[in-house]
Amino acid sequence: MGLATWQKINVEANSPYPVFLGVPLEELGEYLSSQIEEVEHILIITNQAVAELYSERLKQGLLDYRVNLLTVPAGEMEKSLERLSQLTTAALRCGVDRKTLVIALGGGVIGDLAGFFASVFMRGIRLIQVPTTLLAQVDSSIGGKVAVNHPAGKNILGSFYPPLAVWTDFTTLESLPWSEVENGLAESIKHALIADLDLFEFFENQEENIKQRNPSIWQEMVTRSSAVKVRTVSQDEQEHGVRALLNLGHSFGHALETEMNYHGVTHGQGVSIGIVAAAFLASAKGLMTLAEVDRIKHLLSIYGLPTTIKGQDPQALLQRMKTDKKNQGGRKILILPQGIGRTVISKDCTDSEILAAWIQVIS
């Protein structure tokens, strides 16, 4: 294929880097040898299922390097300080040093955990993100956010640590179960709600093609959704302003995930329910119509994403939102849709308004 013909979008920020789209795993080594200096040792961090599917393909292009592969168990619970400590011990046994390059091969959990490891190991070593899930390809691998969880909340311990590159091979999506596809669709639909009405209509019009995994439609979906993330991150790398809009649905969703201890609800499901709660809150504040809320609910529903959750205590969920990273001076800062294709940062949401939004999505 060759470096000159690889499709890419550049993240133009303080630490710029390319997001490559539709590039084979086997060709990452060619990029490293031509663009990244002083690499002798590579540490691939992944989980067992992804390793079995894709590690050999990735290593085909890395024959010129000393390569170690470390696997961690799957699941959001693995984003912990305990797992980070175990990963550090294993890395030291592999001879990882300041010149080592880390490759995060996997979905959002691996990207967050391996990225946070790279950001703190010996005060920071180089990182390449190789996302293998739809969620990671359209969202979590782009933007340099890395983190682990804390009992008080999701992603409480983290940093901004941009990779040297994001390497996206669309063929890794072929193995995804639909439950994993849903996680990515929630983030992609979120991107459409934030900044791209045409993309929202694309999801409405391409239901069958997306469900049937039409390759050209999936490629367009990933590319257009990634472009929203890249544009936003390029304007505000460290979330001092407009980047916060990418958190639409996440204040509600993260509270739900934490309250349920990451069992019984996936990240995408939490975001989907969170988007609906934010939409109800936006409607109550006059930012959108109930017809638009219904349109959002319908789109999420046709892709199998939930719009309600059973058996939760709205007061407990409200309490969980106190640890949201966007909060300032005790005030809850929320991202709300303003119609479809536009969002705003709201700093004046009262607890009673947020509680009413939670009640709308608890069945």
Specify the CATH number for the domain of residue 258: 1.20.1090.10
pLDDT at 114: 98
pLDDT at 5: 63
Q: Are residues 284 and 136 in the same domain?
A: no
Full domain range(s) for residue 19: 3-175
Q: Are residues 137 and 233 in the same domain?
A: no
Indicate the length of the chain as a whole number: 363
Q: Is the pTM of this model over 0.85?
A: yes
d(CA 29, CA 331): 47
Q: Are residues 97 and 81 in the same domain?
A: yes
pLDDT at 240: 75
Q: Are residues 303 and 346 in the same domain?
A: yes
What stretches of the chain show up as alpha helix (H) in DSSP? 28-35, 48-50, 56-60, 81-93, 108-120, 134-135, 178-195, 197-205, 207-211, 215-235, 250-259, 267-284, 290-302, 314-320, 351-361
Q: Are residues 217 and 128 in the same domain?
A: no
Other C-beta atoms closer than 10 Å to the C-beta of 151 total: 8
pLDDT at 113: 98
H or E segment to which residue 141 belongs: none
| DSSP helix/strand/coil, 283 | helix
pLDDT at 117: 98
Angle among Cα 159, 78, 116 to the nearest 5 degrees reads 20
Q: In the numeric block, which tokens belong to residue 273? A: 């329910």
Burial 320-348 (b: 16+ CB within 10 A, else e): bbeebbbeeeeebbbbbbbebbebeebee
pLDDT digit string (tens) for 34-85?
999 999 999 999 999 999 999 999 999 999 999 999 999 999 999 999 999 9
Q: In the numeric block, which tokens belong to residue 59? A: 């290593």
Q: Are residues 72 and 195 in the same domain?
A: no
pLDDT at 322: 85
Active site residues: 123, 145, 187, 229, 239, 243, 247, 250, 254, 267
- Phi, psi dihedral angles at 145 (to 5 degrees): -80, 125
Q: Are residues 306 and 206 in the same domain?
A: yes
Q: What is the pLDDT along the chain (363 residues), one digit of tens a residue?
A: 566 567 899 999 788 999 999 999 999 999 999 999 999 999 999 999 999 999 999 999 999 999 999 999 999 999 999 999 999 999 999 999 999 999 999 999 999 999 999 999 999 999 999 999 999 999 999 999 999 999 988 899 999 999 999 999 999 999 899 989 999 999 999 999 999 999 999 999 999 999 999 999 999 999 999 999 999 989 877 777 888 899 999 999 999 999 999 899 999 999 999 999 999 999 999 999 999 999 999 999 999 999 999 999 999 999 999 877 676 666 788 999 999 999 999 998 999 999 999 999 998
Query: Domain boundary residue among 119, 151, 175?
Result: 175
Q: Are residues 113 and 194 in the same domain?
A: no
d(CA 303, CA 299): 7
Strand partners, 362: 309
Number of domains in the chain: 2
Q: Are residues 170 and 231 in the same domain?
A: no
pLDDT at 112: 97
Q: Which amino acid is at 275?
A: I
Angle among Cα 124, 52, 163 to the nearest 5 degrees reads 25
Q: Are residues 153 and 205 in the same domain?
A: no
Residue in the block written with tokens 């017809």: 291
Q: What is the CATH number of the domain that holds 105?
A: 3.40.50.1970
Q: Are residues 146 and 186 in the same domain?
A: no
Q: What is the CA 330 to chain-centroid distance, rounded?
A: 26
Percent composition of the chain: helix, strand, coil (DSSP 3-state, to 5): 55, 20, 30
Q: In the numeric block, which tokens belong to residue 157? A: 């311990």
d(CA 271, CA 190): 8
Angle among Cα 209, 213, 216 to the nearest 5 degrees reads 75
Q: Are residues 316 and 188 in the same domain?
A: yes
